[in-house]
C-alpha cells in the first residue's frame, strides 16, 4: 500500500523527497499530538468566547464543556465517571466545566425503589441531606409548600434540578419518569418568566418562597423553540382579547380554530400560553 502511494505521488510530479510513506516515529507522533492539542485549545477558546447553545444533559453528540460536536474531535467523547450523563472531549475541558456541572452531577441510584409516600415519610423526613435541601428551598415547615409539586419547580428555579436527576433526597426513586415531565414543564414556565397578573405568577407566589434567587440553567435550542411557540400563541390570544384580560371558552375555540385540523395538538401550547400571560389576576390570587 505504501509503495503504491509513493508511486502515485511520483507519477503526479511530487518532489521525490516528499513521496516517502511510512509510519510516524515516536518523536513525530509527539509533534503531531502537540500541534493537535494546541489547535483544539485555540478552537475551544474561540467557542467559549461566543454565546453557544446549552447542551442537554445526556446528549452524547456534543461536548458539555465547549458545546462542539463530537465530529470535531479525533477521539470519542468521554462521559463523566460519576453521573455518566455529561460528555467531554478532554480532561481539561471537563475541569473548566466542573463548576457548572457540579450542581447537577450525582451518581445513579443503587437503592431499591420505594413508594413515593413511604420514601417521603420514612427517609426524606429524617435524612439530614433531605432536611438541608428542603430548608434551602424554604419548603420545610411551610403548610403550603409540601410535596413534589413544590419541590420540583423550586429546584428548577434555582438551577439544581435536571431532567435525569431525582429531586435531591426529596422524592421517591420510582417517580423519575414523572419528574422528567414535571421538570420539562417547569423549565419552560420559568424560561417564559410570566409577568404579574398571570395565573402562574399568583400560584407560584403561593407555593414557592419569593426570596429564592432565580438561577436558571441556559435554555437549550429545543427549549428556545418551545418558548417561541408559546410567545406566538400569546400574541394570538392578546390580539383576540386584549392585554390584561382573561380569555373565555369562546376565545379559546376561536384561537385554536386558526390552526385548522391540527388544533388538538395546539391545546397544550394554548394552555401554557394562557396561564403564563397577564390576565389581571391579583398577586394573592382570587379569594372565594
Residue 183 within any structural domain of the chain:
yes
pLDDT for 10 equals 82
Domain match, 43 and 75 both: no
Decide which of 17 and 130 is more confident: 17
Task: Decide if pLDDT at 156 tops 70.
Answer: no
Instruction: Residue 226: name the closest of 178, 264, 262, 276 by CA.
Output: 276
Residue 286 within any structural domain of the chain:
no
Domain match, 225 and 257 both: yes
- Burial group, residue 146, by CB count within 10 angstroms (0-12, 13-18, 19+): middle
Residue 198 within any structural domain of the chain:
yes
Domain C-terminal end among 15, 30, 50: 50
Domain match, 123 and 141 both: yes
Residue 139 within any structural domain of the chain:
yes
Domain match, 45 and 61 both: no
Domain match, 22 and 80 both: no
pLDDT for 276 equals 93
Report the distance separating Cα 14 and Cα 20, nearest Å. 10
What mean pLDDT comes out for the span 267-287?
A: 85
Confidence band of 33 (pLDDT split at 50, 70, 90): confident
Report the distance separating Cα 231 and Cα 224, nearest Å. 10
Domain C-terminal end among 50, 71, 86: 50
Domain match, 171 and 139 both: yes
pLDDT for 256 equals 95
**pLDDT tens per residue, range 40-70:** 777 666 655 555 566 777 788 889 888 888 8
pLDDT for 74 equals 78
Domain match, 60 and 139 both: no
| Overall domain count for the chain | 4
| The three cell numbers locating residue 227 | 418558548
Decide which of 164 and 27 is more confident: 27
Please compute Rg for the chain using Cα positions.
26
Q: Among 26-30, 94-98, 271-275, which is the least confidently predicted range?
A: 26-30
Domain match, 10 and 41 both: yes
Domain match, 2 and 15 both: yes
Domain match, 123 and 202 both: yes
Domain C-terminal end among 181, 207, 233: 207
Whether the CB-CB separation of 194 and 156 falls below 8 Å is answered with: no
Regarding pTM above 0.85, the answer is no
pLDDT for 19 equals 77
Report the distance separating Cα 287 and Cα 147, nearest Å. 23
Domain match, 95 and 136 both: no
Task: Decide if pLDDT at 124 tops 80.
Answer: no
Task: Give the containing element (helix H, strand E) for 258.
Answer: none
Domain match, 66 and 97 both: yes
Task: Decide if pLDDT at 167 tops 90.
Answer: no
Task: Decide if pLDDT at 85 tops 50.
Answer: yes
Residue 280 within any structural domain of the chain:
no
Q: How far is CA 32 from CA 26, 28, 38, 72, 75, in A?
A: 10, 6, 10, 16, 14
Residue 216 within any structural domain of the chain:
no
Decide which of 137 and 280 is more confident: 280
Domain that holds residue 58: 52-108
Residue 78 within any structural domain of the chain:
yes
pLDDT for 184 equals 77
Residue 11 within any structural domain of the chain:
yes
Task: Decide if pLDDT at 87 tops 90.
Answer: yes
Amino acid at each position: 500500500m505504501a509503495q503504491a502511494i509513493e508511486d502515485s505521488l511520483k507519477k503526479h510530479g511530487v518532489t521525490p523527497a516528499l513521496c516517502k510513506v511510512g509510519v510516524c516515529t515516536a518523536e513525530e507522533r509527539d509533534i503531531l499530538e502537540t500541534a493537535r492539542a494546541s489547535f483544539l485549545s485555540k478552537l475551544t477558546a474561540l467557542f467559549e468566547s461566543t454565546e453557544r447553545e446549552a447542551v442537554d444533559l445526556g446528549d452524547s453528540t456534543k461536548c458539555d464543556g465547549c458545546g462542539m460536536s463530537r465530529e470535531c474531535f479525533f477521539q470519542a467523547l468521554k462521559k463523566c465517571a460519576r453521573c455518566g450523563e455529561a460528555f467531554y472531549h478532554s480532561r481539561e475541558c471537563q475541569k473548566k466545566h466542573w463548576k457548572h456541572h457540579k450542581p447537577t452531577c450525582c451518581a445513579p441510584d443503587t437503592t431499591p425503589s420505594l413508594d413515593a409516600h413511604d420514601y417521603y415519610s420514612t427517609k426524606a423526613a429524617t435524612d439530614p441531606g433531605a432536611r438541608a435541601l428542603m430548608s434551602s428551598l424554604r419548603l420545610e415547615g411551610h403548610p403550603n409548600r409540601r410535596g413534589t409539586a413544590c419541590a420540583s419547580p423550586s429546584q428548577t428555579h434555582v438551577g439544581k434540578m435536571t431532567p435525569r436527576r431525582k429531586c435531591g433526597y426529596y422524592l421517591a426513586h420510582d417517580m423519575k419518569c414523572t419528574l422528567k415531565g414535571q421538570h420539562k414543564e417547569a423549565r419552560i414556565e420559568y424560561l417564559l418568566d410570566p409577568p404579574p397578573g398571570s395565573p402562574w405568577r399568583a400560584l407560584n407566589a403561593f407555593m414557592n418562597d419569593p426570596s429564592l434567587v432565580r438561577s436558571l440553567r441556559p435554555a437549550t435550542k429545543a427549549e428556545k423553540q418551545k418558548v417561541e411557540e408559546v410567545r406566538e400563541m400569546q400574541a394570538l390570544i392578546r390580539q383576540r382579547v386584549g392585554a390584561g384580560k382573561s380569555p373565555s371558552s369562546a376565545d379559546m375555540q376561536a384561537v385554536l380554530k386558526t390552526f385548522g385540523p391540527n388544533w388538538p395538538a395546539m391545546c397544550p401550547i394554548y394552555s401554557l400560553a394562557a396561564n403564563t400571560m397577564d390576565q389581571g389576576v391579583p398577586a394573592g390570587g382570587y379569594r372565594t
